[in-house]
Amino acid sequence: MKKYLISTFGCQMNEHDSEKIAWILEGMGHVSTDNREEADIIIFNTCAVRKSAEDRVFGQLGELKDLKRRKPELILGLCGCMMQREDIRTYFLSKHRHIDLVFGTNNIHKLPQLLQRHMETGEVIVDIIEDTREIEENIHANRKYSYKSFVNIMYGCNNFCTYCIVPYTRGREKSREPQDIINEITELTDNGTKEVTLLGQNVNSYGKTLEFEYNFTDLLRDINKIDGLERIRFMTSHPKDLSEDLIKAYGELDKLCPHLHLPVQSGSNKVLKSMNRKYTREDYLSQIRKVRAINPNIAITTDIIVGFPGESDEDFIDTLELVKEVGYDSAFTFLYSIREGTIAAKMEEQVPEETKHKRFQQLLDTLHPIGLELNERLIGTTQDVLVEEISKNDSTVLSGRASNSKLVHFKGSEDLIGKIVKVRINNVKTFTLEGNLINMEA
């Protein structure tokens, strides 16, 4: 049997795509390996969102040149977002002659035919679908975990934020049929999945391409009815499409986790307009107030970009003030970096790197004390934790996620992995909670 290795860069969408690629390859009789030296097929699932991910792919591809010389029968494939961009695709193929196979985000299901064509002809096979993904419901996935699963509910993006390359790499929005999603989650639950994370570039706009009236909240309500499923999460959620109906769902659906990841990106109306985000800081803050009115204990997380072109000191102060007003549990923070092919890349008034880094540190200095204070409020509480793994530093310590998505460490045995247990919190740090397992049988 041939052995395969998949290296994944980027977001949860890419991670789930890699699970699908693994399922296809194992259906062809191949087996997984973590050792490049013994692999017969190596596939890089790439990300185009950040330059750093792109650079890592370039570096690792270079490292494989010697292996390809020693093992000329090795098949080296590239897929994912980077491959959807013709300029990057052309550059890769011109600089790395050891590449055998290139496909994109929209045609993963064609992998068996593409591999067969390469093996029959020995030629470099390039197969890219430029627009909307072909939704193939017969493709399953080799799930990394049995107890929690990613589930795509839609593909593509219609938003065209000026800093983002995703609409150009993953195509226009297209929603899966709700019954297909429900069937997939039902099957997962029957096989032990306790928690699903619904994936889409903008889950709030789910349903707009369906031929009947059915929206994201309708989908959540139907998923909430699935017997055996215990938790529902979703990402990513765009503020401009966050509906009153979805906000109310946080008070109605018992399986919907009390956590909302709502990327704000900036607290400045001027910058938000330049980003083409299509909401104001006032709109955003109003949404936060409504969500907290429904569930005062909900955890709110976000994404923030520092140093977007034209961001002034006053604009950045607006962001800091919004952070204080919202009181985020945590945030993914990014230094703006130019992405060729986006509108923002051509903007004047690029912010100097030194200024970006200074503001970035100020942002962290504002965020971290808030996150710690919110965690301290949880001392003495009991959290339901889905146990995920053994600590890499201490084999007697387990890690898992509370329903509010906070990472919890506690002492316990390996047989608890995949179960939801109760943990009493007795100590906290900025990013983690620590506690003791409550023995419910005592």
Q: What is the pLDDT of residues 226-276, one digit of tens each?
A: 999 999 999 989 999 999 999 999 999 999 999 999 999 999 999 999 999
Cβ–Cβ under 8 Å, residues 209 and 196: no
In angstroms, how far is the first alpha carbon of the chain from the final one?
50
C-alpha 435/C-alpha 379 separation (Å) is 9
C-alpha 401/C-alpha 407 separation (Å) is 5
Over residues 158-201, the pLDDT tens digits come to 888 999 887 777 778 889 999 999 999 999 999 999 999 999 98
Over residues 299-351, the pLDDT tens digits come to 999 999 999 999 999 999 999 999 999 999 999 999 998 888 889 999 989 99
Is the pLDDT at 371 greater than 90, yes or no? yes
pLDDT band for position 282 (50/70/90)? very high
Q: What is the pLDDT of residue 318?
A: 98
Which pTM value belongs to this model?
0.81
- Element (DSSP H or E) covering residue 31: strand 31-32
Of 211 and 341, the one with more pLDDT: 211
Q: What is the pLDDT of residue 58?
A: 79
Taking Cα atoms as reference points, which of 347, 411, 361 lies closest to residue 385?
Answer: 411
Question: Which two three-digit tokens encode residue 136?
Answer: 């193939």
In the chain the domains, ranked by start, together with CATH numbers, are: 3-127 (3.40.50.12160), 148-376 (3.80.30.20), 382-437 (2.40.50.140)
The mean pLDDT of the chain is 90
Classify residue 289 by burial, with Cβ atoms within 10 Å: 0-12, 13-18, 19+. exposed
pLDDT band for position 442 (50/70/90)? very low
How many C-beta atoms lie closer than 10 Å to residue 365's C-beta? 10
Q: What is the pLDDT of residue 270?
A: 98
Q: What is the largest CA-CA distance in the chain?
A: 66
pLDDT band for position 439 (50/70/90)? confident
Is the pLDDT at 397 greater than 50, yes or no? yes
Nearest-5° Cα angle at 146, 429 to 433? 10
Q: What is the pLDDT of residue 225?
A: 98
Is the pLDDT at 134 greater than 90, yes or no? no
pLDDT band for position 441 (50/70/90)? very low
Q: What is the pLDDT of residue 343?
A: 92
For 367, list phi and psi in degrees, rounded to 5: -70, -45
